[in-house]
Amino acid sequence: MRWMTVPTTESWAQACTGEMTQHTAQIRLALNEFFLQVQGKALRQAQIATGDTDEAFDIVQHAMMKLTSRYSHQQDVWPPLFQRILQNTIRDWFRRQKMRRLLFWSSPQVAETLFVESEHSSNEPIDIAANTPERKMISRQQLSAIESALRELPPRQQQVFLLRAWWGHNTEETAFAMRCSTGSVKTHYSRALHKLKTLLEPSE
């Protein structure tokens, strides 16, 4: 008498295929829905941070792929996890840039490579927004001034400001996304706001 049948690889695959396909399809749909909700802001934030549209696409792609490959089973916490991955990726980008700048000063060869790259990429990021009636309410000059002011902020202040003011996250959520204390979030936010006021508000 056999108490237990040992499943073969094929039978295991057949048994789980139906269930898995349904389960995977549900997750796929939910993830796609989630990505559709966050992709615009994520791309704009990355674009403001890097000043380069291609780099921004790469950052968003990395964040989406990492969330899918590692945390697809944690649907309840997708928003904070995605934010954390996104902010980490942006921070990594800043670190790489810093490293490249250091190499720039130490190695003439790297400096030459960077010069060639900078010739190909324009300073003005490619416009990713559609020309909607709402868009016409704000002039291109105003938008450019706002983006320039945001870019002048130190990376951490820029991230905190966008997470708090634009994404609408509270202090705790922002602290989780940025892997810092709530006290740091408050300090960064206060400093960012002060600097933005100095840069954007006309002096009396």
Contact, 160 vs 91, CB < 8 A? no
Q: How far is the CB of 53 from other proteins (least distance, A)?
A: 8
- Angstrom distance (rounded) from CA 181 to CA 189: 12
- Most distant CA pair in the chain: distance in Å? 93
The one-letter amino acid code at 188 reads H
**Residue 68 interacts with other proteins (CB under 8 A)?**
yes
**Residue 138 interacts with other proteins (CB under 8 A)?**
yes
> Which CA distances in Å does 125 have to 25, 40, 53, 54?
36, 15, 6, 9
What's the alpha-carbon Rg for the chain, to the nearest Å?
22
Instruction: Please work out the total of residues on this chain that contact other proteins, with binding judged by CB under 8 A.
Output: 49
- Angstrom distance (rounded) from CA 89 to CA 87: 5
Q: Which is nearer to other proteins, 96 or 135 (CB)?
A: 135
The one among 44, 84, 156, 188 contacting other proteins by CB under 8 A: 44
Q: How far is the CB of 141 from other proteins (least distance, A)?
A: 11
Contact, 103 vs 62, CB < 8 A? no
Q: Which is nearer to other proteins, 112 or 152 (CB)?
A: 152
The one among 43, 103, 110, 180 contacting other proteins by CB under 8 A: 43
Contact window for other proteins (CB under 8 A) among 34-42, 86-94, 100-108, 110-118: 34-42
C-alpha dihedral sign at 64, 70, 71, 72: positive
Q: How far is the CB of 28 from other proteins (least distance, A)?
A: 5
Q: Which residues bind other proteins (CB under 8 A)?
A: 12, 16, 20, 23-24, 27-28, 31-32, 35-36, 39-41, 43-44, 57, 60-61, 64-65, 67-69, 72, 127-132, 134-135, 137-138, 142-143, 146, 150, 164-166, 168, 189, 193, 196-197, 200-201
